[in-house]
Amino acid sequence: MKKSFILMLALAFGIMSCNNQQTKPKSEDMDTNPFFTEYTTPYQVPPFDKIKTEHYLPAFKKGMNQQKEEVEAIVKIADPTFENTIAALDYSGELLTNVSSVFFNLKSALTNSEIEAIAKEVSPLLSQHQDDIGLNPDLFKNVKAVFDKKDELNLNTEQMRLLDKVYKRFVRGGANLKAEDQERFRAINKELSLLELKFSENQLAETNAFQMFIENSDDLVGLPQSVIDAAADEAKAAGQEGKWLFTVQKPSMIPFLQYSEKRDLREKILKGYIMRGDNNNENDNKESVQKIVKLRVERAHLLRYESHAAYVLDENMAKTPENVFNFMDQLWEKALPMAKAEVVELQKLIDAEKGGFKLEAWDWWYYAEKLRKAKYDLDEEEMRPYFKLENVIDGAFAVAHNLYGISFNERTDIPTYHPEAHVFEVLNNDNTHLGILYMDFFPRESKRGGAWMTEFRQQSNKDGKDIRPVITVVCNFSKPTGDTPSLLNFDEVETLFHEFGHALHGLLSDCTYPGVAGTNVARDFVELPSQFMENFCSEPEALSLFAKHYQTDEIIPQSLVDKMTASSHFNQGFVAVEYLSAAYLDMDWHTLKEPEMLDVNKFEKESLEKIGLIPEIVVRYRSTYFAHIFSGGYSAGYYSYIWAELLDADAFEAFKENGLFDQATATAFRENVLSKGNTEDPMVLYEKFRGAKPKIEPLLRRKGFIQ
């Protein structure tokens, strides 16, 4: 799931205490700043049509001051209880939560130079604010007082879970450190907040900087017409009408790598992608990586952990780095030989065409697509007409309706942050309001790459009022061109279902306290709901709901579905090795035990050589653009996707056994996984759904590693 790390940082204590020198907002700000009054929009969504850039900083400052006052009130309590201390702290910072959720979400989806400047100013303030709360000795004293008598308080499961989480957050946030160590802890957090922000800015700049203009139509040979038309539109938008523009945004780059017959241009675009942040220019990320890694080790040592990974994993299902490595090793041992066998097949195809060259990374996509067509008579472009974006959205909604009885109604009377963003009201099966869902699909220069889900408002229940969530899903899909609508490739279909699965996790949350609601779960559990939804993309019963030809409305023919099924294990060695190599790289960076400034490229090379990564495959994310771990909250956690895939493969077996839309199974999944947030240990929740611990065999079968 792609949630802003800075937003998660901000939300860590309900949200975080501002510098005593901050001034109060001017009276005119109070009158015009929409953050300072209760939203009057439908379902109290953010009033995007009224929010202006100048509103953010005063709202951040007022929000931090307000929460500081709330914390001071908690500190003064003579007899701390769960309600007046733990619950009060979890509910605190409402204004700061509101402004942070809007600002940091739009920083990812609709940024500009003014937003970036505010982020640079406010990020260290938020870091300081978080530390002012987490390192407040009197506040920790009250929290600890409640924690020490927890067995006498008759707390329910959710309350006990929240108490444990809040207490550990203080300990992990440095509350037990000596005064001088706390000062260093604060300094590290402040510096990290700026370094991670800089990493993200550099990555976006590098992505936007690469442009490959093609002037000669002969250089378009092999490309489908839809790809050519999209490139022409991109060039026109860039002021170069009559040319074709290709970028390192995935909807532009991947089709080029798959179909272009121009090997030199395939090499150019792939190298443009993999060299981002490593061009020794003003956007180079190597120094940021060095400093981030070094500071994380130092912080872990302050907290008595031997590595940053040990610190992170202590709160995850995996628990230890050794468990992560052991799990990945089981998969790597099967994936690498499969990838090497795929190299042999692709090289044979090159030799048969008398190519006269050795397979390189920029050749893989092209010859894999050729081989898939030769082996299975399946061309990915043959599937696109059946995956019109609007139909796929309707299909995701239909799957959710069949599983959980919920429905989605598009609303045009609710403000949005961009004309391309759509808004849906989500209803329960009794037509009661469940939540609001924003969806934003296409690339633009103001939006970072990738796909993610996050919230403008989390679900909770305060003073008996059920506060329903406002969720957003943001993607970067192939745009419509001319009279042709947006037609997705199958990978994009899976991405939409993936992020929609995260959205359901947020929408179906039924918890009391925001700190344990929705997607506030262990990093290696949060991907279960998202990856679970991906399973439906290739099931004939689900495909019949949305895979319809955009011109004829004909349902995808069974013959094409059969080809998809037959080819389901095709190229899985590549997919697993490309992903796992990045997960190993993440773990290698974050199991370092000494705070050193290491040569980034040398370290990366040695890490990948150690596992035997073959030269024909480039690690999915090189260090200098590995945003998941250096600016996205997945440090020592990129393994989470495959860990959660073990869970989702096992979970989906229950639906295969009982029926794809079996109501009893779907209800059990909703009630024990989707609605429960972090109210119990994730493995306990999973076992309540499944009746047993997950087995690895379904995952191995899915990938074709075993029969």
What is the Cα–Cα distance from 388 to 554, expressed in whole angstroms? Answer: 12
Q: Return the SS3 of 245.
A: strand
Q: Calculate the alpha carbon distances from 259 to 18, 226, 370 in Å.
A: 54, 12, 9
**Computed over its alpha carbons, how large is the radius of gyration of the chain?**
25
Distance separating alpha carbons of residues 35 and 346, to the nearest angstrom: 57
How far is 505 from 562, CA to CA, in rounded Å? 31
Are the CB atoms for 156 and 679 separated by under 8 Å?
no
User: Do residues 481 and 233 make contact, with C-beta atoms less than 8 angstroms apart?
Assistant: yes
Task: Say which amino acid occupies 323.
Answer: N
Q: How far is the C-alpha of 412 from the C-alpha of 280, rounded, in Å?
A: 47
How many angstroms separate the Cα of 115 from the Cα of each of 107, 441, 568?
6, 21, 43
Quick check: 134 and 173 in contact, CB under 8 A? yes
Which residue has 């440090």 as its token pair? 635
Give the other-Cβ count within 10 Å of 21's Cβ. Answer: 5
CA distance 80 to 142: 6
- Per-residue tokens: 513: 């306290």
Distance between CA atoms of 681 and 392, rounded to whole angstroms?
34
Q: Where are the beta strands (DSSP E) in 464-620?
A: 465-467, 470-474
Run of H or E residues at 209:
helix 179-209
Structure tokens at 128: 């300081």
Q: Is 298 a catalytic residue?
A: no
- Could you give the dihedral angle defined by the CA atoms of residues 315, 514, 424 and 504, in that order, rounded to the nearest 10 degrees? 40
Bridge partners, 465 (sequence order)? 462
Coil/strand/helix, residue 410: strand
What is the Cα–Cα distance from 66 to 49, expressed in whole angstroms?
A: 25
Length of the chain: 707
Dihedral (C-alpha) 415, 9, 168, 472: value to the nearest 10 degrees?
30
Unique residue bearing structure tokens 């995996």: 318
Q: Please state whether 267 falls in left (phi above 0), alpha (psi between -120 and 50) or beta.
A: alpha
What is the 8-class DSSP label of residue 153?
Answer: S
**CA pair distance 66, 502, nearest whole angstrom:** 31
Bridge partner list, 605: none
Scanning the structure block, which residue is given the tokens 């978080």?
A: 130
Instruction: Give the three-state DSSP class for 79.
Output: coil
- Residue from 455, 499, 539, 578 carrying the catalytic annotation: 499
Closest by Cα among 583, 581, 569 to 336: 581
> In 3D, which of 594, 586, 582 has the Cα closest to residue 636?
586
CA distance 485 to 478: 9
Beta bridge partners of 492: none
Give dist(CA 411, CA 115) in Å, integer: 28
Distance CA 548, CA 390 (A): 11
Task: Let me know if 475 is exposed, middle or buried by CB neighbors in 10 A (0-12, 13-18, 19+).
Answer: buried
SS3 assignment, position 141: helix
In whole angstroms, what separates CA 697 from the centre of its chain?
26
What is the Cα–Cα distance from 510 to 504, expressed in whole angstroms?
12
Catalytic residues: 499
